[in-house]
Chain A
């Protein structure tokens, strides 16, 4: 900010120091006026709600009467609440299942999509379609694919004489089934980010390596992968955050009242249940706050570890 002001406030014929200062102040004021709409928007729609929900997490509030301050009771109860700890565990399992699978497949896909083949635009579009499809449609269609009696997946398995599991309504498979759908719908987005990373790698590295007689695998692991790490890092951070916040797929693919939720309920689902089904807003806010802390810690750990494996050119 300050450098911006001094550069612009430097008049051709500098008169007195005081006059320049006045001009600088005036420009600074205008600068603030120009960013005011954004600051207002951010404050009104992001910061104020966050602060409000932090406050609410220390209260008991049904959304109607005035909130009652109850200190750390919500947090203490959460630690004892099997529903919440279970949903935390499910979210972790979901993340462990989704992130590595999605990112590794997306990396391979990005490399494949980075070739010069006829019809490449078609392939790239093809893999991106799941990303732009509404989650509701994705969930509904997959729910039918997974149907154990009438679904396409089990029909194919049956033809091949393979076991036909009950994908969504057997607690051993339910979470896995949702993980697969989520991988399917996120690889497109991740691949596009990684693809742009790949295209930023200068061809001269490969040329030099070829002259030195490097093979394909060697080039991939020693040039492509290290130079792709900044994009990979971004994709990893975003994937972690997104999968900790998963809600829509579970909401659509599971019934709202079913014992199967015990093995598929995620933290955000639990927040929604407590907040908008039972109207325990304080309890829901406390869960949201814990989730925020968890995501913050995970992201900070990632930021710390990145120094060891991310190579900026």
Chain B
């Protein structure tokens, strides 16, 4: 009898093991009868705004449940790609520029153009640079959510101390150099300007300002190996050599934002989303102006969009959801939270008021000369090659002439392997 029992128990145990092992795959099932939209993103700071927008959505769709999963940035892309490959991916998810083309070209993102046509959505309410960024083969694949642009942060206290007038929209590369000289105080370790070795806040802007480009419009060739690009780097290098800017090695070790935030530098090009952090560090001393111009003005714009899974089973519901998130109402909520500049034109006011002492309007004005963040299908690969060469040149291991030639060749080789 006892033996029988033990046999029975072990058999039951085995079955339960097998059942649980098999049960794991079926994640999207959930509540029977009720439709579920799975949403994935990485930044928890946007949680309140998202919850409010979902409430609006649920008023129209009380029978649809929206499940939101926040995955930290470090794991987001790996998890997203593997879950989409396993057909268990989210229905709606955050997409950024560098990854967009690789996802769109593998059919992981739904082409929104039929949906846009059907519901008569006007996409001209979004910043053009963002619409460009999320357009693949002439069709919009993501609804812009928020954006950021680059402007010049400066420390008023250091300007007052040196008796230099504040930067304004007439400043150029020459003005920066002139005034950085006056602002630099070697004895107390203060730099006039940080010439970033980073791409987004640094040379991507300067290359465009010099009249060059990083990637051609057809995404087929690199613009690194050009005299315009070279002049941008020469300007940055000059500032470092004269001691007006921290060297590349210093910037590698101590991030420019830390240096600027601790009052060790008077000017730093920065992204709009850096504003809250820098304001927390510097308070009322912090101010912002347009990026100084080279041959012309330029500011790199990047932003995120909402993408719909190419294989989603709840297409219409997902489309309705992202229309609310990226619609006027959702965008105003986003702006009010102070999280970032919304992508919908004219909804910025809430965001502009989020830091009263800072003239955030500068970032909105900079959109007029916006240049989209350069991307293609294999962005990550050519960016690694680019950074390797350019950092080596910044560190003085090779000349910029040589580094840019190499970077251009490697990037062209990678671009040639992209499937279009």
Dominant secondary structure at the B interface:
helix
- Residues in chain A within 8 A of chain B (CB atoms): 33-34, 36-37, 40, 44, 62-65, 147-150, 166, 168-170, 255, 257-262, 276-279
Give the nearest-CB partner of A148 in chain B. Answer: B253
B19 to chain A, nearest CB (A): 13
In angstroms, Cα B14 to Cα A260, docked, is 51
In angstroms, Cα B252 to Cα A62, docked, is 32
Q: Is the CB of A276 within 8 A of B387?
A: no
Residues 357-407 (chain B) with a chain A CB within 8 angstroms? 378, 380-381, 383-384, 387-389, 391-392, 395, 397
Instruction: Pick from A33, A65, A258, A262: contact of B252, CB below 8 A.
Output: A258
In angstroms, Cα B113 to Cα A107, docked, is 69
| Residues of chain B contacted by A64 (CB below 8 angstroms) | 81, 84-85, 106, 108
- Residues in chain B within 8 A of chain A (CB atoms): 10, 14, 17, 21, 78, 81-82, 84-85, 102, 106, 108, 249-250, 252-254, 378, 380-381, 383-384, 387-389, 391-392, 395, 397
Q: Is the CB of A147 within 8 A of B254?
A: yes
| Residues of chain A contacted by B10 (CB below 8 angstroms) | 33-34
Instruction: Pick from A166, A259, A276: contact of B388, CB below 8 A.
Output: A259
Give the nearest-CB partner of B77 in chain A. Answer: A276
Give the nearest-CB partner of A280 in chain B. Answer: B381
| Residues of chain B contacted by A262 (CB below 8 angstroms) | 388
B364 to chain A, nearest CB (A): 30
Instruction: Pick from B84, B252, B378: contact of A169, CB below 8 A.
Output: B252
Instruction: Pick from B17, B84, B384, B395: contact of A257, CB below 8 A.
Output: B384
| Residues of chain B contacted by A150 (CB below 8 angstroms) | 254
Q: Is the CB of B106 within 8 A of A65?
A: yes
* Other contacts beyond A44-B21, A149-B253, A262-B388: 7, CB < 8 A: A64-B108, A147-B253, A148-B249, A150-B254, A260-B252, A261-B388, A279-B81
Instruction: Pick from B249, B380, B391: contact of A277, CB below 8 A.
Output: B380
| Residues of chain B contacted by A149 (CB below 8 angstroms) | 250, 253-254
Instruction: Pick from B78, B108, B389, B395: contact of A276, CB below 8 A.
Output: B78
Q: Is the CB of B380 within 8 A of A63?
A: no
| Residues of chain A contacted by B381 (CB below 8 angstroms) | 278
B371 to chain A, nearest CB (A): 21
Instruction: Pick from A169, A261, A276: contact of B249, CB below 8 A.
Output: A169
Give the nearest-CB partner of B390 in chain A. Answer: A259
Q: Is the CB of A259 within 8 A of B249?
A: no
In angstroms, Cα B357 to Cα A81, docked, is 53
Q: Is the CB of B253 within 8 A of A257?
A: no
Most buried by A among B85, B249, B253: B253
Instruction: Pick from A44, A63, A147, A255: contact of B81, CB below 8 A.
Output: A63
| Residues of chain A contacted by B253 (CB below 8 angstroms) | 147-149, 166, 168-169
In angstroms, Cα B17 to Cα A37, docked, is 8
Give the nearest-CB partner of B108 in chain A. Answer: A64
Q: Is the CB of A258 within 8 A of B81?
A: no
Q: Is the CB of A257 within 8 A of B250?
A: no
In angstroms, Cα B254 to Cα A259, docked, is 16
Instruction: Pick from B108, B252, B383, B397: contact of A255, CB below 8 A.
Output: B252
